[in-house]
Each structure stands twice: as structure tokens, then as C-alpha cells.
A and B are shown apart, each in its own frame.
Chain A
Amino acid sequence: MIRHLLSGGDLDAATATQILDTAAEMATVAGREVKKLPALRGRTVVNLFYEDSTRTRISFEAAAKRLSADVINFSAKGSSVAKGESLKDTALTLQAMGADAVVVRHPASGAAHRLANWVDGSVVNAGDGTHEHPTQALLDAYTMRARLGRLAGLSVAVVGDVLHSRVARSNVLLLSTLGAKVTLVGPPTLIPVDIAQALAPGTGVCYDLDTVLPTSDVVMMLRVQRERMNDSYFPSAREYARRYGLDGPRMRRLPEHAIVMHPGPMNRGMEITPEVADSPRSTIVEQVANGVSVRMAVLYLLLGGNNS
């Protein structure tokens, strides 16, 4: 098993599949009356969050607690970070406290990589800037596999602000490793021209959502921040929604079995309409539930739970 999980590219197909299989076992725990396993008893997991992300933090927190780990939540607000402590000094502090794993969310790309140089424990990247969010990609892959029965050969359209999306980067890397065909869709201003060469050579790029819908097994809508229009990435929220938003008529152009995903939080009416978000094709709530199982599997495997 790898020591850190920093990038979707850290995982080969066998390791990624092992995580997904382990997550499936973990999911059975959620159905029990007592949702707890003793696997990480006595181990300490620190959630080090430099950005507000309640959903990701509580997902990791629930995962660690279900494995009986001790959880310390360390958020940038109300800690010495607000007084200007450096990431390195914070890392050394966590190290001194005996953190077995550090789950880090940070606004700067590469922060998790830096942290991994400074702590002995495992580092899990819970989102670093506009770089990666590998457990999101794992839970997305888990959700696709659970719904559609496989990953190899699936056509996955990832739609929206790819340029600034850590979810997109991790998904392209992981899904390519697992044999899915990813097509990135969005306005050219939000899709780096060299993204396929940069991440996975088989990745497709398309600027027209309607073209890709009839052949997609999965459509993953990315959150698009309205602020982007102030930086001329697109003219207006309305125009964005018209060209790249997923609404009912567009959803009906998908194959019968196709699913619609979103990493949340959604901008209803921007990239996705309520009709789509609340439809049976939508996996958005499942993704949240699967997130806990996948994060349990990641912590369990990184911390050598299978050896103890």
C-alpha cells in the first residue's frame, strides 16, 4: 500500500480497485445498528482544514470515527494558523502530538505534498487549491461502479470549470487508470489546451455539451463559481447555464442508463437544474454516503489496518 494519498495518479489499477473493494465492505457497516469497527483503535487522525469545507471534514471525521480512531479537528480559524504559524510549524506540532494520519484541505496547490515532507504519518489530500482531491475521485468511481457495474469502457463527461477544478484533475487521472474514457466539456476558457497531455493522453475535450450527451454513461457536473464571469471566463451566468448547464431536455438526451453526478455543493440553476439534481438519475446523495465508505477504506489501508 502507498504511504500517502496525494494524487489520483498515485494509484495504480490494482490499488485503486483494492480501495473500492474495501470501501464496499466498509459500506456494510453503515447499514448496521452499531456503525463502528475497532480497526484503528488507538490511532490518531488529524483533520487539518485551512478552508471551510464542512461536508468533506465531517465525511472524513465520520470515516475515522467508524474505524474507532481518535480524531482531532484542526481548523485554520481559532487556531495558531490565524496568528500566522507556518504550515511547516503546524506540521511539526502535529508530528509531536503523534498524528498517524493527517487529512489536509488547503487553498494552495501542492500543500499536501509539502506537508508529506514534514510529517512521518500518512497524508491524505482532501483538496489542495486547484490541484487534486483524490478521495472525491475514488468516491465518484465507487458510485459509478455501484450504479453501472463497471468502470472499464465507461464514457464519462466531466462538464464545467476544469481549469480550476481539483475534482476534475483527480477524476481524469483515476478514471483513466481504471479504463474509463473521460471527455472534458466546457467553454475553451475553462479547459487548458494541454490537459490531455498533462494528465492522461486518452482524455477527450469537447466544447459542445449536446454533442457528448447521447454517448455518455456518466455526466459529472462541476461547480462553477459565479465570480468566474467577472474574470471574463464567460459572459454571464445565464449564458453559461444555456450552453453548459444540465437541464431536463438535455438530460433526456442521455442514454436510458446514464447517471448524473455532482461533487457538491451545487449551484442549482447554474450548472444543474433542480429537475436534474432531484431526478432518479442523480447520484448526488449516494455520493455523499459513498464518501464515508471510501474514506474509511483509504484510512484503513493507509494506516495498515489490514496488517494489525
Chain B
Amino acid sequence: MTAYLVKGVSVVGAAPTDLLIRDGVVAEVGADLAADGATVLDATGLVALPGLVDLHTHLREPGREDAETVESGSRAAALGGYTAVCAMANTSPVADTAGVVEQVWRLGREAGLVDVQPIGAVTVGLAGERLAELGAMADSAARVRIFSDDGHCVADPKLMRRALEYVKAFDGIIAQHAEEPRLTEGAQMHEGEVSTRLGLTGWPAVAEEAIIARDVLLAEHVGSRLHVCHVSTAGSVEVLRHAKARGVRVTAEVTPHHLLLTDERAETYDPVYKVNPPLRTGADVAALRAALADGVIDIIATDHAPHAVEDKECEWAYARPGMLGLETALSIALDVLGPEWDLIAERMSRTPARIAGLEGHGLDPAPGVPANLTLVDPAARRVIEPAELASRSRNTPYARMTLPGRIVATFLRGEPTVLDGKAVK
């Protein structure tokens, strides 16, 4: 195992120092450390962050390996500064058994670029009818703790209550895709002025807010942990603020695209902007940004959703919803939050690692801590070129946009997965 001496790096925005990485851990932190045989990386001007943790990633394997594989998605994650990702359950077959979650977990280990933590489905086949074997997935080698039917809402209130209660036995958490299905039949984009003009069926904000309101009450009633996926509306923020003030054990995520883009993007009818929940209004974006800063929203999660070209190069209504996110998330956080490194570390690493219960992740570089970290060049600006992304898919909504920040290096347990901005393997 090679040792690395990272020279002159700012750890989470602090004054420059040196980091010695050896034997998988941060061995020493301090000024003018001796190389002592370690490979020296000049990190002048760079910022070291705890390796980013994504609570919401679609890796598409098994089933849609043409869109993404565990390996290609892991590489995209490492290039985005991530050291751990939580893989959503809506694969084919669905990750609703110990067998499938162990397969995904094993593929992640084999790729060895990030820690891939499978999420298990709440219900069999994501059908929303009966509970999947949550305990078997929890007890499997994948040690599943997060359960989600993401892509579908656990709409049945009784089933949602049971799921919330059941996972308490192994400190599990239900991550809800909040979408009242009866209010979003045929929905194509945010319901509002733009959908009215474009003649696309609307996805009303209330369909999200009503489910979050119900679920925080259920979580309070049974004393369980609830995580709300991809919060997208100002009204949802208010429901969450109220719930947190009451002490409900609820956490919430926002995606980079909901922090940056609005429903007006749909005016091109280019389905690269089709996503679920949909892009909302400027007022929603402002509320989400404020909530991320003040902590009502706990984390940024990418909802990285690769799709094959033919699933996006078509009519809007026939396109699959979803956008790439792993390789651009940090840049968007930097764009939206500014160089608030402690806040970025909190929202993109420490808190998601804590919610997911990932040991060794989300820890600031310090002596003895597992060397899961990433080095960011905050001064760099880059133009996003879809063809240059490591993902197998090209459905980035940021094509040809100039974004701040660049990931220079990423370390997973002391081993570089990215060096000089390029994937090591």
C-alpha cells in the first residue's frame, strides 16, 4: 500500500497543512511533515473534504447495464468526490431480497472505487402491496439499513406505518419517495404556468407535501426514523420545519438539480430536463436553498439516474425521468452555497454518512481516521461535456454549462481512486 503526503491542503477550509495517508488511515496532520518514502502531492490551493456520501444513487445494475453498471457508476462517483454511495432498489430484478442486495454489494466491492451500500425495497417488487423481507436484507452481508421504494411512493398509509415500525428492530430507516399517486396520474412536469402553457400534465406540489405531512405524523406516532427523498417544494420545507420543531425523527434530502434548475427548462421539450419529482419554480428553488443552509433539509443527495440515449431522445411524455448527478454535485453545491466548506462537508458527507450508518465515512481528516477523503480545487472552472463523463449515460442537464470546482483526487481507505482529476482504474 502506497503512502501519500498531501502538502499544503486546507482541511475543510482551515489554514493549509500537510496530511500523511498511510495504511488506509490519515496517519498524521501537521505542518511540514516529512515524506518518508510517501508519494508527495502538492495540494496548494486545494481543499480536503471528508469523502462525499450519496444517499440516493441509481446504479441500474442488475437489469439496465446499458445505462449504468455498478462499476461505471462507482467511477462516476469517485470522480465526483464520493467515497460511498447508497444504491437504490429499483433495479431489475428489484433489490427486494437478500440475494439481490448481496449481489449489488459484492459488485461494489469488486469495483472497489467507492463503498456501495445497497438500499432495499420496502415492498415486494416496489408494488406497494406487501413488505419485502426487510429483516433478511438487514441480516445479509449487505447489512441494509435504508429501505426505499424510490420511483414509487409507499402510498398505502397502513403499509407505510408497518414499514416504519418494523425496521426499528434493526435501526432501519424508510426513505420515502413522496408522491401521492392519485394526484400525479400521467404527470409530466411541475403543475403551474409552464405546464399550462406547454400542455403537459401537471405534477402538483401538494402531491408531495400531502405525503410528507402524513409520513411525519406516522413517524411521530410510532417513534420511527423517516427520511424524505428529493424534497422539491417550498411547501414541503414548511411541513418539515414544523415536524422537526415537534421533534419528529425525520431527515430530508434535496438534489443538486432542484437547487439549480426550474420548470422553465421544459420549454425546450427536451426530456433531459424531465425528472421525478419535477423541476419546480424559482420560489421553490429559493426555499430549498434556504432550508439547506438552515438545516431543515439535512443533506444533498444526487438522485443520479442514468438513462440510455433512446429513453431520452424522444417525445417528452415517453421519456424516462431522471438526470445524472454524481460528477457534478459538488460543483453545484459550490455554486449554490459558495465556499462554505464546513456546510458542504456537513450536507454532503458527515450527515449522509450518519443517516446511512456508514462507519468510517463522513469523518474529517484527522490522525487515526480512515482515509476516505477528496481534494477539491475551488478555483477551477469547468465546462460540462456529456461525452467526457464516466457514467455510461449522457443525460446531464448541465451540458455546456460552466461550473465552479473540480475534484483533483479521491481516496478510499488510503487508496487513490482519482488522481489528477482522472480515475485511477
Interface membership of B261, Cβ < 8 A: no
What CA separation (Å) do A166 and B198 show in the bound complex?
10
What CA separation (Å) do A111 and B271 show in the bound complex?
11
- Evaluate contact between A199 and B200: CB separation under 8 angstroms: no
- Evaluate contact between B196 and A113: CB separation under 8 angstroms: no
Interface membership of A266, Cβ < 8 A: no
Interface membership of B136, Cβ < 8 A: no
Contacts of A87 in B (CB 8 A): 314-315
- Evaluate contact between A197 and B200: CB separation under 8 angstroms: no
- Evaluate contact between B314 and A195: CB separation under 8 angstroms: no
Residue in contact with A108 in the complex, picked from B197, B313, B316, CB distance below 8 Å: B316
Interface membership of A214, Cβ < 8 A: no
A131-B198, A132-B199, A169-B199 known; A194-B192 Cβ under 8 A: yes
Interface membership of A129, Cβ < 8 A: yes
What CA separation (Å) do A87 and B271 show in the bound complex?
14
- Evaluate contact between A199 and B196: CB separation under 8 angstroms: yes
- Evaluate contact between A88 and B196: CB separation under 8 angstroms: no
Interface membership of A128, Cβ < 8 A: yes
- Evaluate contact between B315 and A108: CB separation under 8 angstroms: yes
User: Which chain A residues (22-47) contact chain B, with CB distance < 8 Å?
Assistant: none
- Evaluate contact between A109 and B198: CB separation under 8 angstroms: yes
- Which of A106, A194, A199 counts the most B-chain CB atoms under 10 A from its CB? A194
- Evaluate contact between B197 and A198: CB separation under 8 angstroms: yes
- Which of A87, A109, A128, A192 counts the most B-chain CB atoms under 10 A from its CB? A109
Interface membership of A225, Cβ < 8 A: no
User: Which chain A residues (9-68) contact chain B, with CB distance < 8 Å?
Assistant: none
The interface bits of chain A over 91-117 (1 if a CB of B lies within 8 angstroms of the residue's CB, else 0) are: 000000000000000101111011000
Interface membership of B269, Cβ < 8 A: yes
What CA separation (Å) do A199 and B193 show in the bound complex?
8
- Evaluate contact between A109 and B196: CB separation under 8 angstroms: no
Interface membership of A86, Cβ < 8 A: yes
- Evaluate contact between A111 and B315: CB separation under 8 angstroms: yes
CB distance from A241 to the nearest CB of B (A): 25
Interface membership of B110, Cβ < 8 A: no
Interface membership of B317, Cβ < 8 A: yes
CB distance from A164 to the nearest CB of B (A): 8
- Which of B315, B316, B317 counts the most A-chain CB atoms under 10 A from its CB? B315
Interface membership of A130, Cβ < 8 A: yes
- Evaluate contact between A129 and B193: CB separation under 8 angstroms: no
Contacts of B196 in A (CB 8 A): 192, 194-195, 198-199
- Evaluate contact between A88 and B314: CB separation under 8 angstroms: yes
CB distance from B279 to the nearest CB of A (A): 15
CB distance from A11 to the nearest CB of B (A): 16
The interface bits of chain B over 181-213 (1 if a CB of A lies within 8 angstroms of the residue's CB, else 0) are: 000000010001110111111100000000000
What CA separation (Å) do A86 and B268 show in the bound complex?
19
Contacts of A113 in B (CB 8 A): 268-269
- Evaluate contact between A129 and B313: CB separation under 8 angstroms: no
Contacts of A88 in B (CB 8 A): 313-314
Interface membership of B310, Cβ < 8 A: yes
- Evaluate contact between A114 and B199: CB separation under 8 angstroms: no
Contacts of B170 in A (CB 8 A): none
Contacts of B193 in A (CB 8 A): 194, 197-198
A86-B310, A129-B199, A131-B199 known; A198-B316 Cβ under 8 A: no
Instruction: Report the count of interface residues on B (CB-CB < 8 A).
Output: 21
The interface bits of chain A over 169-187 (1 if a CB of B lies within 8 angstroms of the residue's CB, else 0) are: 1000000000000000000
Instruction: Report the count of interface residues on A (CB-CB < 8 A).
Output: 23
- Evaluate contact between B199 and A109: CB separation under 8 angstroms: yes
Closest residue on chain A to residue B200 by CB atoms: A109
Contacts of B316 in A (CB 8 A): 108-110, 114
CB distance from A280 to the nearest CB of B (A): 34
Contacts of A194 in B (CB 8 A): 192-193, 196
- Evaluate contact between B314 and A109: CB separation under 8 angstroms: no
A87-B314, A87-B315 known; A110-B269 Cβ under 8 A: yes
Contacts of A195 in B (CB 8 A): 196
The interface bits of chain A over 274-304 (1 if a CB of B lies within 8 angstroms of the residue's CB, else 0) are: 0000000000000000000000000000000
- Which of B198, B270, B313 counts the most A-chain CB atoms under 10 A from its CB? B198
What CA separation (Å) do A196 and B269 show in the bound complex?
21
What CA separation (Å) do A136 and B384 show in the bound complex?
42
CB distance from A62 to the nearest CB of B (A): 27
What CA separation (Å) do A192 and B204 show in the bound complex?
12
- Evaluate contact between A199 and B313: CB separation under 8 angstroms: no
CB distance from B181 to the nearest CB of A (A): 14
What CA separation (Å) do A192 and B190 show in the bound complex?
13
- Which of B193, B194, B269, B314 counts the most A-chain CB atoms under 10 A from its CB? B269
Contacts of B270 in A (CB 8 A): 114
User: Which chain B residues (291-320) contact chain A, with CB distance < 8 Å?
Assistant: 310, 313-318
- Evaluate contact between B200 and A110: CB separation under 8 angstroms: yes
Contacts of B317 in A (CB 8 A): 108-110, 129
CB distance from B186 to the nearest CB of A (A): 10
Contacts of B202 in A (CB 8 A): 192
Contacts of A109 in B (CB 8 A): 188, 198-200, 269, 316-317
Contacts of B268 in A (CB 8 A): 113
- Evaluate contact between A106 and B199: CB separation under 8 angstroms: no
Closest residue on chain B to residue A106 by CB atoms: B315
What CA separation (Å) do A128 and B269 show in the bound complex?
12
- Evaluate contact between B199 and A128: CB separation under 8 angstroms: yes
Closest residue on chain B to residue A7 by CB atoms: B197
- Evaluate contact between B198 and A110: CB separation under 8 angstroms: yes
Closest residue on chain B to residue A88 by CB atoms: B313
Contacts of A192 in B (CB 8 A): 196, 202
What CA separation (Å) do A199 and B199 show in the bound complex?
11
Closest residue on chain B to residue A162 by CB atoms: B196
What CA separation (Å) do A113 and B267 show in the bound complex?
10
Closest residue on chain B to residue A169 by CB atoms: B199
Report 25 cross-chain contacts, Cβ distance below 8 Å, ordered by A residue: A86-B310, A87-B314, A108-B318, A109-B316, A110-B198, A110-B269, A110-B316, A110-B317, A111-B315, A114-B270, A114-B315, A129-B199, A129-B200, A130-B200, A131-B198, A166-B199, A169-B199, A192-B196, A192-B202, A194-B193, A195-B196, A197-B193, A198-B193, A198-B196, A199-B196
Given contacts A109-B199, A198-B197, 17 further A-B contacts (CB under 8 A): A86-B314, A87-B314, A88-B313, A108-B315, A109-B198, A109-B200, A109-B269, A109-B316, A110-B198, A110-B199, A110-B315, A110-B316, A114-B270, A114-B314, A129-B199, A195-B196, A199-B196
Question: Which 4 A-B residue pairings sit nearest by Cβ, starting from the closest?
Answer: A131-B199, A110-B269, A108-B315, A198-B196
